[in-house]
Protein backbone atom coordinates (compact mmCIF):
# COMPACT_ATOMS: atom_id res chain seq x y z
CA UNK A 1 0.00 0.00 0.00
CA UNK A 2 2.87 2.30 0.75
CA UNK A 3 3.89 2.14 -2.86
CA UNK A 4 0.35 2.70 -4.11
CA UNK A 5 0.11 5.77 -1.92
CA UNK A 6 3.29 7.13 -3.36
CA UNK A 7 2.16 6.34 -6.91
CA UNK A 8 -1.12 8.14 -6.31
CA UNK A 9 0.75 11.13 -4.93
CA UNK A 10 2.89 11.26 -8.05
CA UNK A 11 -0.20 11.00 -10.22
CA UNK A 12 -1.81 13.81 -8.30
CA UNK A 13 1.29 15.98 -8.83
CA UNK A 14 1.16 15.42 -12.57
CA UNK A 15 -2.56 16.05 -12.72
CA UNK A 16 -2.18 19.31 -10.83
CA UNK A 17 0.59 20.39 -13.19
CA UNK A 18 -1.67 19.64 -16.15
CA UNK A 19 -4.53 21.55 -14.52
CA UNK A 20 -2.26 24.55 -13.96
CA UNK A 21 -1.38 24.56 -17.64
CA UNK A 22 -5.04 24.37 -18.60
CA UNK A 23 -5.80 27.31 -16.32
CA UNK A 24 -2.91 29.28 -17.81
CA UNK A 25 -4.21 28.63 -21.31
CA UNK A 26 -7.81 29.58 -20.53
CA UNK A 27 -6.95 32.64 -18.48
CA UNK A 28 -4.70 33.87 -21.28
CA UNK A 29 -7.52 33.42 -23.74
CA UNK A 30 -9.94 35.20 -21.43
CA UNK A 31 -7.57 38.15 -21.06
CA UNK A 32 -7.25 38.53 -24.82
CA UNK A 33 -11.00 38.21 -25.18
CA UNK A 34 -11.49 41.04 -22.70
CA UNK A 35 -9.13 43.23 -24.71
CA UNK A 36 -10.97 42.38 -27.91
CA UNK A 37 -14.28 43.32 -26.32
CA UNK A 38 -12.90 46.66 -25.11
CA UNK A 39 -11.70 47.39 -28.64
CA UNK A 40 -15.07 46.51 -30.12
CA UNK A 41 -16.80 48.80 -27.63
CA UNK A 42 -14.52 51.68 -28.55
CA UNK A 43 -15.01 51.02 -32.25
CA UNK A 44 -18.75 51.21 -31.60
CA UNK A 45 -18.36 54.57 -29.84
CA UNK A 46 -16.27 55.92 -32.71
CA UNK A 47 -18.80 54.73 -35.25
CA UNK A 48 -21.46 56.60 -33.31
CA UNK A 49 -19.39 59.81 -33.30
CA UNK A 50 -18.95 59.51 -37.05
CA UNK A 51 -22.65 58.87 -37.58
CA UNK A 52 -23.51 61.96 -35.52
CA UNK A 53 -20.95 64.00 -37.45
CA UNK A 54 -22.57 62.81 -40.67
CA UNK A 55 -26.09 63.73 -39.66
CA UNK A 56 -24.77 67.05 -38.31
CA UNK A 57 -23.28 67.84 -41.71
CA UNK A 58 -26.56 66.97 -43.42
CA UNK A 59 -28.51 69.25 -41.11
CA UNK A 60 -26.03 72.06 -41.68
CA UNK A 61 -26.33 71.79 -45.42
CA UNK A 62 -30.09 71.86 -45.09
CA UNK A 63 -29.98 74.97 -42.90
CA UNK A 64 -27.56 76.72 -45.25
CA UNK A 65 -29.90 76.02 -48.16
CA UNK A 66 -32.86 77.38 -46.23
CA UNK A 67 -30.94 80.50 -45.29
CA UNK A 68 -30.10 81.16 -48.93
CA UNK A 69 -33.71 80.70 -49.96
CA UNK A 70 -34.83 83.05 -47.23
CA UNK A 71 -32.26 85.63 -48.26
CA UNK A 72 -33.52 85.46 -51.84
CA UNK A 73 -37.06 85.90 -50.57
CA UNK A 74 -36.04 88.92 -48.49
CA UNK A 75 -34.37 90.51 -51.50
CA UNK A 76 -37.42 89.89 -53.62
CA UNK A 77 -39.78 91.43 -51.06
CA UNK A 78 -37.48 94.41 -50.60
CA UNK A 79 -37.65 95.05 -54.36
CA UNK A 80 -41.41 94.74 -54.29
CA UNK A 81 -41.64 97.27 -51.49
CA UNK A 82 -40.35 99.95 -53.80
CA UNK A 83 -43.31 99.48 -56.08
CA UNK A 84 -46.14 99.09 -53.57
CA UNK A 85 -49.23 101.28 -53.82
CA UNK A 86 -50.97 100.80 -50.47
CA UNK A 87 -49.94 100.80 -46.90
CA UNK A 88 -51.53 97.36 -46.41
CA UNK A 89 -49.35 95.87 -49.09
CA UNK A 90 -46.34 97.58 -47.58
CA UNK A 91 -47.09 96.22 -44.10
CA UNK A 92 -47.63 92.74 -45.43
CA UNK A 93 -44.27 92.75 -47.24
CA UNK A 94 -42.58 94.18 -44.18
CA UNK A 95 -43.96 91.34 -42.05
CA UNK A 96 -42.80 88.74 -44.54
CA UNK A 97 -39.30 90.21 -44.44
CA UNK A 98 -39.27 90.31 -40.64
CA UNK A 99 -40.47 86.72 -40.39
CA UNK A 100 -37.84 85.55 -42.85
CA UNK A 101 -35.11 87.42 -40.95
CA UNK A 102 -36.25 85.88 -37.65
CA UNK A 103 -36.29 82.42 -39.12
CA UNK A 104 -32.77 82.94 -40.45
CA UNK A 105 -31.56 84.14 -37.08
CA UNK A 106 -32.82 80.90 -35.54
CA UNK A 107 -31.13 78.92 -38.28
CA UNK A 108 -27.86 80.75 -37.63
CA UNK A 109 -28.11 79.91 -33.94
CA UNK A 110 -28.69 76.27 -34.73
CA UNK A 111 -25.73 76.36 -37.11
CA UNK A 112 -23.47 77.68 -34.39
CA UNK A 113 -24.60 74.93 -32.03
CA UNK A 114 -24.03 72.33 -34.70
CA UNK A 115 -20.53 73.61 -35.33
CA UNK A 116 -19.73 73.46 -31.63
CA UNK A 117 -21.06 69.92 -31.50
CA UNK A 118 -19.01 69.08 -34.59
CA UNK A 119 -15.87 70.33 -32.97
CA UNK A 120 -16.53 68.32 -29.82
CA UNK A 121 -17.27 65.17 -31.80
CA UNK A 122 -14.13 65.61 -33.87
CA UNK A 123 -12.11 65.98 -30.70
CA UNK A 124 -13.69 62.93 -29.08
CA UNK A 125 -13.19 60.95 -32.25
CA UNK A 126 -9.51 61.85 -32.32
CA UNK A 127 -9.04 60.96 -28.66
CA UNK A 128 -10.84 57.65 -28.91
CA UNK A 129 -9.10 56.76 -32.15
CA UNK A 130 -5.72 57.37 -30.53
CA UNK A 131 -6.63 55.12 -27.59
CA UNK A 132 -8.00 52.54 -30.00
CA UNK A 133 -4.74 52.56 -31.96
CA UNK A 134 -2.82 51.86 -28.77
CA UNK A 135 -5.19 49.09 -27.75
CA UNK A 136 -5.01 47.48 -31.15
CA UNK A 137 -1.24 47.39 -31.24
CA UNK A 138 -1.12 46.10 -27.68
CA UNK A 139 -3.55 43.34 -28.60
CA UNK A 140 -1.44 42.44 -31.62
CA UNK A 141 1.70 42.20 -29.49
CA UNK A 142 -0.02 40.24 -26.75
CA UNK A 143 -1.72 37.90 -29.19
CA UNK A 144 1.64 37.09 -30.71
CA UNK A 145 3.30 36.45 -27.36
CA UNK A 146 0.26 34.53 -26.20
CA UNK A 147 0.49 32.28 -29.23
CA UNK A 148 4.14 31.68 -28.53
CA UNK A 149 3.33 30.84 -24.91
CA UNK A 150 0.46 28.61 -25.98
CA UNK A 151 2.79 26.55 -28.16
CA UNK A 152 5.16 26.08 -25.23
CA UNK A 153 2.32 25.22 -22.87
CA UNK A 154 0.89 22.74 -25.32
CA UNK A 155 4.18 20.90 -25.66
CA UNK A 156 4.64 20.92 -21.90
CA UNK A 157 1.15 19.58 -21.51
CA UNK A 158 1.83 16.85 -24.02
CA UNK A 159 4.90 15.75 -22.07
CA UNK A 160 2.93 15.69 -18.85
CA UNK A 161 0.13 13.72 -20.46
CA UNK A 162 2.64 11.10 -21.49
CA UNK A 163 4.09 11.07 -18.02
CA UNK A 164 0.59 10.66 -16.66
CA UNK A 165 0.00 7.59 -18.79
CA UNK A 166 2.97 5.94 -17.13
CA UNK A 167 1.80 6.86 -13.64
CA UNK A 168 -1.74 5.69 -14.24
CA UNK A 169 -0.52 2.23 -15.20
CA UNK A 170 1.08 1.79 -11.81
CA UNK A 171 -2.08 2.50 -9.83
CA UNK A 172 -4.52 -0.27 -9.03
CA UNK A 173 -7.74 -0.02 -11.04
CA UNK A 174 -10.10 0.34 -8.08
CA UNK A 175 -7.91 2.99 -6.45
CA UNK A 176 -7.61 4.85 -9.71
CA UNK A 177 -11.38 4.86 -10.10
CA UNK A 178 -11.80 6.23 -6.61
CA UNK A 179 -9.11 8.83 -7.22
CA UNK A 180 -10.75 9.99 -10.46
CA UNK A 181 -14.17 10.19 -8.82
CA UNK A 182 -12.89 12.35 -5.99
CA UNK A 183 -10.89 14.52 -8.37
CA UNK A 184 -13.99 15.19 -10.43
CA UNK A 185 -15.96 16.21 -7.35
CA UNK A 186 -13.23 18.08 -5.46
CA UNK A 187 -11.71 20.62 -7.81
CA UNK A 188 -9.08 18.27 -9.16
CA UNK A 189 -7.61 17.59 -5.73
CA UNK A 190 -8.13 13.98 -4.64
CA UNK A 191 -4.97 13.10 -2.77
CA UNK A 192 -3.92 15.41 0.03
CA UNK A 193 -1.33 15.46 2.75
CA UNK A 194 -2.03 15.48 6.44
CA UNK A 195 0.38 17.42 8.56
CA UNK A 196 0.21 17.90 12.33
CA UNK A 197 -3.23 16.37 12.27
CA UNK A 198 -4.62 18.78 9.69
CA UNK A 199 -6.01 17.73 6.30
CA UNK A 200 -4.53 19.97 3.60
CA UNK A 201 -7.60 19.54 1.44
CA UNK A 202 -10.11 21.12 3.83
CA UNK A 203 -7.83 22.35 6.65
CA UNK A 204 -9.82 20.50 9.26
CA UNK A 205 -8.36 18.28 11.96
CA UNK A 206 -8.51 14.56 11.37
CA UNK A 207 -9.31 12.34 14.37
CA UNK A 208 -6.14 11.33 16.30
CA UNK A 209 -6.85 7.66 15.73
CA UNK A 210 -6.96 8.21 11.97
CA UNK A 211 -3.78 10.23 12.13
CA UNK A 212 -1.99 7.35 13.83
CA UNK A 213 -3.22 4.97 11.16
CA UNK A 214 -2.01 7.29 8.43
CA UNK A 215 1.51 7.11 9.84
CA UNK A 216 1.51 3.37 9.22
CA UNK A 217 0.72 3.74 5.53
CA UNK A 218 -0.77 0.27 5.34
CA UNK A 219 -4.19 1.39 4.17
CA UNK A 220 -5.63 4.20 2.07
CA UNK A 221 -7.72 6.49 4.29
CA UNK A 222 -10.19 9.22 3.51
CA UNK A 223 -10.70 12.56 5.24
CA UNK A 224 -13.97 12.36 7.19
CA UNK A 225 -14.66 16.01 6.36
CA UNK A 226 -13.79 16.45 2.66
CA UNK A 227 -13.66 12.77 1.64
CA UNK A 228 -10.29 13.11 -0.07
CA UNK A 229 -7.63 10.44 0.00
CA UNK A 230 -5.02 11.13 2.62
CA UNK A 231 -1.33 10.58 3.00
CA UNK A 232 0.95 11.39 5.85
CA UNK A 233 3.04 14.43 5.08
CA UNK A 234 5.73 15.38 7.59
CA UNK A 235 6.96 18.98 7.84
CA UNK A 236 9.77 18.59 5.37
CA UNK A 237 7.67 16.82 2.75
Binding residues for Zn ion, rule: CB under 5 A, are: 199, 201-202, 223, 225-226
In terms of CB distance, is 199 or 220 closer to Zn ion?
Answer: 199
Q: How far is Cα 129 from Cα 126, in angstroms, rounded to an integer?
A: 5
Compute CA distances 96 → 22, 73, 74, 106, whole Å: 79, 9, 8, 16
In terms of CB distance, is 56 or 193 closer to Zn ion?
Answer: 193
Question: Closest separation between CB of residue 225 and Zn ion, Å?
Answer: 5
Contact assessment for residue 201 and residue 229, using Cβ atoms and an 8 Å cutoff: no
Name the DSSP letter for residue 221: E
In terms of CB distance, is 28 or 201 closer to Zn ion?
Answer: 201
Phi-psi category of 227—alpha, beta or left, where left has phi over 0 and alpha has psi -120 to 50? Answer: left
In terms of CB distance, is 100 or 214 closer to Zn ion?
Answer: 214
Question: Closest separation between CB of residue 222 and Zn ion, Å?
Answer: 8
Count of other CB atoms within 10 angstroms of residue 206: 20
| CA angle centred on 36, ends 32 and 39, rounded to 5° | 140
Question: Closest separation between CB of residue 224 and Zn ion, Å?
Answer: 8
In terms of CB distance, is 21 or 199 closer to Zn ion?
Answer: 199
Name the DSSP letter for residue 192: E
Question: Closest separation between CB of residue 231 and Zn ion, Å?
Answer: 12
Question: Closest separation between CB of residue 189 and Zn ion, Å?
Answer: 10
Amino acid sequence: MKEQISDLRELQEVDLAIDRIDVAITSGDAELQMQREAIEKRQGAIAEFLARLGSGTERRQQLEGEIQESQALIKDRQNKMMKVQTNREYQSLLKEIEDAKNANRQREEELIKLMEQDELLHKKNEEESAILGGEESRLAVETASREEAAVKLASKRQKLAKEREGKVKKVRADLLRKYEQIRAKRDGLAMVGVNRGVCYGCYMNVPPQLYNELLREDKLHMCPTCNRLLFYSPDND
